[in-house]
Structures are given as structure tokens and as C-alpha cells.
Chain A
């Protein structure tokens, strides 16, 4: 077996493993940060400072009884969580997370850190994330419960609305980079202006970045846009009727989506693995740091901001975010045209 293929498989496996862990880690992080923000400890019994808490949660979920409400749609009820989590995993497939490396001379020519590199990578990410909505919608419908149904309806409407701004914000960056391959986008951000400002698109696209982050929050159904599972109104929204592993898969998918969102944001706006002080081989460290910052912002926002009202969400999405992103795109296009010509 060729060493190169082995390394590739290794990278893929590693990415998958990390994603699985990411959800667990994020659960812990979330609870810790929430505690910190609410001036309490958060979990601290299981293991030192409660670091093993996620493990305990997983075990508990695994051994719970699987319930399916009467009148629920058998196939779709099972299919929904699988769809959701699959979509979230697949979405990460084209996201590169490190520079090309030879593993310190282990290989004769370098391999890229990342599962796959497609020349329409951005589109793939976008397409797969837009598939993710089906998991939630189907879950809402298949549960045959009105709360779930409402959650599903809300999810579908909300995600369709925010995908537009999301995609438009992406398009602006693609215009700047002149490529749809995430790796090329990242590499186009190497280097600095004036020797100290890193060439990150966040400096060229501040508006785009803000729009992207907000739309990303809505896409991942996180607070303050977590309407599909608005506890106060819908018990638990689309996953009210779920339990055990089927239930576990939804938060799993949600956290992986967060990671994907942050990874894409890092690749598109924050220069991916490019950064000062570190050799390219260690670029992935920068990558992790940046992702961490964005994820922290997510959690921070969740436990700081109150939930909107649903009509406010739609109003905001259609009447503010979309026009803003379109204007941003137009201005960017005009400037690109001007400076290239």
C-alpha cells in the first residue's frame, strides 16, 4: 500500500475523529463558558474540573431507551437525524485546515492538510450546508407533533432566508480571490501589507465578514436565532420527540456545523493557516486558534443575547441583511473591476 495514500487516509480519518470530538469538546466548552458568564462553575464533578463531563453525557445518551411517538413516520423519523449529521460531516469535506506539508520529509512530495480539494469547494460547502436543513425539517414533520412541526417550518423558512445573505457574502470574497477553491482562497491571503497588516480578507470585507457570521448563526440555528428549538415557545422545537442516540445526533450535527462555519470563515476571511511567528508546517495551529476565537464568539453570543421574535428575524434577514450583502457585493465587484482594469 502506497505510503502517500496511507497518509491521505490518515488525514481523512484524523479530520473525522476531530470533528466527532469537536462536538464533545464544544459541549464542555459551552457549559464552562456559560457557567463563567453566569458566575458559576459549570460542570466540575466528573473528572478534574469536569473535563470528562461530555463522556458521561454520551454514555448516558447511549443507554437511554429509544422512544418513537405513535403516529410518527417511521422512516423519516429515523432518517432525519442521520441526514442532519451526515450533511454536517460532508460539509467539512472540502474545507482545508492546513498548508501542504511533507510531514518533516516523511513524504517526497507534499500533501494537503484537508479531506479533499475541489475547484468548486466553496459551492460544495454551501450546497451541503443547505442540505442540512432537511434533517431538521423532516424531524419536525416526522415527529407528528405540533411543536416539532412548528420547529421544522421555522427552520425551513429561516434557513432559506439566510442562505441568500450567506451566499452573497461568500461571493464577495470569491470575487476578491478569483477562485472557488478554498485552498486557493486561503493561499491568496498569504503575506502582509506594509509588512505588518496580514492580507486577510476581513480587512477588505469587514461588512462581508459580519454578514457571514450573522447568517452563519442563523444557518446553524444558534441563539439568538435558535427558533427551531425555541424552548420557551416550542418545548424543544424540532427535536422535542427525540431521545437517546437519535437525539444525540442533532446537537452533534449542530456543533459540527458550527465548526464548519468557523472553519470556512477562517479560510475565507481570516487567512486560514497563514499567520506570523509560525512556520507553514505549524500553520494548523493558527487555524485552530482562529476557529477557537470564532467558536468562543458563538457561545458568548448565545449566552449573552436574548432571542429575537420570529417576525423580527424574517424582517431582519430580508430587509437588512440581504440588501446589505447585495450592496457589499456590488461595491466589491465595482472596486475589483476598477483595480484590475
Chain B
């Protein structure tokens, strides 16, 4: 039953990858979407079955077969469905199916084979992602982990004819390799410590141990795992690949680089909550890194001009918030934010996709504006998404982000709370900027200009330009998303409004179902059912009566922050447009610094890439390869050559000579035996 969930998309992948090029678009696209929808239904049904169970032992295990069996170390290919993976499951399959549907419209101008290739990748990604989520042990999870990395590489570089896309793909792949390397080391460390890689067993054994003080083996292991997570989830220091990943098709950015894959790191920490919570050192690092990433990415996002890049940086910063939550031990809050974020960030990306679609590949917000009246649906859904992201009261983002911040504060990390608050301010601001610049004001660029530079840049027209290029009416006004896309946008918009209400905090009279639901996943399986509820309280945030007041105030503060941010944005980019430019000039250094993303890429180039390539060229290539390896090979060859030249004299070609030599041997051997 569980196996079916990843299997369905995989079948879709098989079909599309083998005979997709022969199928018409409607069939291949429909097939892929159908696979996703089906697997969503299966997932929903199995989750429903999970709901029916007693909270204490909510889990469904399915072991397919034994994958590795060496000595006492065995790894089963086993899937485990528990509250945590259930949430992820629904997010992935649900949003995945929506994005599949969206893509059928968005990618419609691709050639048949390209179209099929796209959908086969997408399906493959979904399959791997589901394996990642469902895997009951590290190795199985790692299979999914690597698989999604591969698919993200393939999809970022989907338009591999465009150099920037290919490079971005490579960058993502390489950066992920670094993380994965650490991840493997972490797994090995865990194996060395616990002798197993099964989540439940590890959690049980750790749960039995005291919380580690100081920097011990568990801290090292978890830290390594976290490094892997930073690779996957684009945290400092390994976040640089995500903005470049925007070279991929927009739906891909929505699915992989906003909703699902990048949250794998968060999920991984949540999955090993017990483990991490036994390594306070690591937790601290996680929290700090998360907060730092959040703030930094927010600042960068403030000045970016590419609509997708802005969203990308906002994704990074939101992920930072999630890690912050994880770091302070509020696993429930982190997952909650992950879950809501999936909705509105997907919505935003798809909305931006619709915009780009309408403008035939224009991505620079400076060339947009005034699209409100052309793209009503896109506009409204986009606004909703932005508000949700900004944490406008009553929308999904509000509840989750607010809970994250509250937990941070409640766990006494005031400084981190300040950073988080700043981040949300920034978030509100740049989202406001995005909306205002894109949809308000007057058209700053005739679509003529857009089309012109589209046609000048074949890269564009060949790739992200999908609207109606080739039709005669490119000069006409941009018009709204086709029904399939519009439908998806609306659905997601509704989602981003309502998604938050399963996590309404007690302070607002709700009772945080999600936290309660998730609690068992974060508790050591050893503890009996009775304490699970208590653990749930702990995870969901220890709401004592006194804290409600605090929570309410914080809530007010953060909503105030959100509104303030939006107000600022409105003030700068709507009322006093020139102010932006003047600020940019007056704070030129900062502006330049932000615009160049703190020169991080350059720093990496200088500090890592160049030395590495230099060492490889001068050392490995010229010395090791040419000197040692080639030398050895050639040496052997020359030895053989010389000896052959000598022995050649015996090769007379006269059979009788050979026969006589044989006879010499015979006579000698026989003589030896006779002499003895």
C-alpha cells in the first residue's frame, strides 16, 4: 500500500521516459498528472487510516525486502508512515499534483519529446521525494535524498542548451555533493555509535541515553547530518546554488526549490528530532545558522530585480526560519511553517510563472508594472500569497511564522527572536516591493520592448518564453493565465488562506492540532503512550496560562511588523518612487553589497574553486597523472618492449624449432625424474 505511493509516479516516469516522445503532449502530460493525483489519493487514504489509529502508536510500517544483509548489519527497504511523514506526504503529493497540472499548460510550447522528458523528470522527482519521506532508515532516505538531488540537477539544467542553465545545474549538483558527503559521514558516525541506521532503533537507543553535554559523538554525527541538510535546504554556507537554480522552468522552482526538496533538510531534522534534541550543541548551531541565513537572505531579497530570484531568496530566508525553529527545539513549529510555506511559496512561484508566461519570458520586475488590470487572477492570487508569506494576520503564514517566533522567544533565545522578527519585517517589505513593482503603477515597458529583447535573446525566446511566441499578437496586451494555471493558482490561494487553521494556537482559542498530531514523531518511541501527550505539549510549546499573554503580545508585535513592512514598501515603491533610487545612491556601498549578494559566490570562487583547480592542474594532473601514472604505464610498456625485442629472436616461425624446444623440455623433465 505504502509502496504504491512512490511507485505510481515512478511508473509514470518509466512510461514517459521510454515511449513518451511518441505520445502526444496531452497524453504524456495527462499521464504524469494522473500518476501524481492517484498517488495523492493513495496517500490521503493511508493517512486517513493513520488518523483512525490510537495516537500512541500511529505508524504504518511496510518492509519490501532486505536490501543489505552483511553480518549483523541489515538494511531493509522499509517504508514508515507516521504523523510527520504523513504531513510531508500530503504536501508533496498534493502540491505535486497541482504543479503537474500547472505544468501541462506552462510547458505547452515545448516539443513533444522535450515535454515528455520534462514530465518524466518531474515524476521521477516525485517518486524519489516520496521515498525520501517514507524511508524508515537512513540508507533508504539517502536513496531518495540523492535521487531528488539528481532530479533537481536534471530539471535546473532542463534547457541545457542555455549555458547559464547548464552551469546552474552543475553548481547545484556540486554543492549538493558537498552536503551529501557530510551526510554520509554523519550516517557512518551514527552507525559506528549505534550499530544500526534504522530511525526508530536509533531514536529508542538515544532516548535511553542522557542528553549529551559538551561536544560528543552524537553532536558530531548530528552536525554532519546538518551540514548535509544545509546542502539540500540551501542554508549558510551552502545556499548559493538555490538562487541560480531559478534557471529551471518556473514550475520546477515552485515544486522542488520552494515546496518540497529544499525542505528535505528540515524534514530530516524533524525525523531525527530525538537524536538532535540530545545534542544541544548542534541544536544551537542549527538555530544560529537558521536565523543568520534568514536575515541575510532577506536583506539580499530586498534589492534583487529578477522576480524569481526575489522569491528564491525569500525561500532561503523562510527555510532559515524553519531551521531556527528546529534549532530551538520547536520541531512542530518548524514543520508547521514548512507545511504552510509550501502552499504560499508554491503559489507565489506559480504566480510569477504566470507573469513571466504573460510577458513572454520577461523576468525583470523593473520592466513590469501595471499588470494588475491585465492579469486579475494572477494578481489577486499573488497578493494573497504575498500576504500569507508576509504573515498578514489570519493567513497561513501568520500562524506558522508567529509560532516559530513565539517558540524561539519562549525558549529564551531573545537575540534569535530579534533576528527572526527583523527577517519577517524584511519579508513583508520585499514582498510588498515585489507586488507593487510588478502589478501596480503603469507599464514601464511596452510589451514591444519585452518581445524585442526576447527576440534578441534567443536564449530567452527558446526557453522561459512561453506565452504565445510565434503567434502574431506578441505586441498585444499580455493576457491572463490559461485555465489550467488559473485553476491551480486559485486552489493554492485558498490553501494559503486556510492552511494555517489546523495550527491555531491555544492563545486564540484554537488547540494546535498539528502539534498534537506531530508530537509522537518527535518523541522517543521508548516512552509509553501516557507521556506522548505530555511530549506533545512540550513540542507544541508548553502553553501554561501565563504564557498566553506573552504569546498574544508577540503575535500582535509580529502582525504589526508585517503590516509595517508592507506599509514601508508601499511608501517607498508606490508613493515616493524616487526615494528608492535616492536611498540606493545614499547607501551605495550597502546597496552594491546586497546587489552582489555579499559577494559570497566570488568569495567561494577565490577561496575554494580556484585553489582547488590550481591544485588539480599543477599537482594532480601535471605531477601525479603525467608523472606517476603515465610514467608507470609507459615504463611497463617500455619494459615489455625491450624484453620482447630480446625474446623475438626465439620466434623463428619454424615449427620444427618449436618442436625441438618442446622436446628439450620433455627430455629435461624426464631426466630429472630419472635421476632422482
A–B touching in complex (CB under 8 Å): no
Interface residues of chain A, those whose CB is within 8 Å of chain B, are: none
Interface residues of chain B, those whose CB is within 8 Å of chain A, are: none
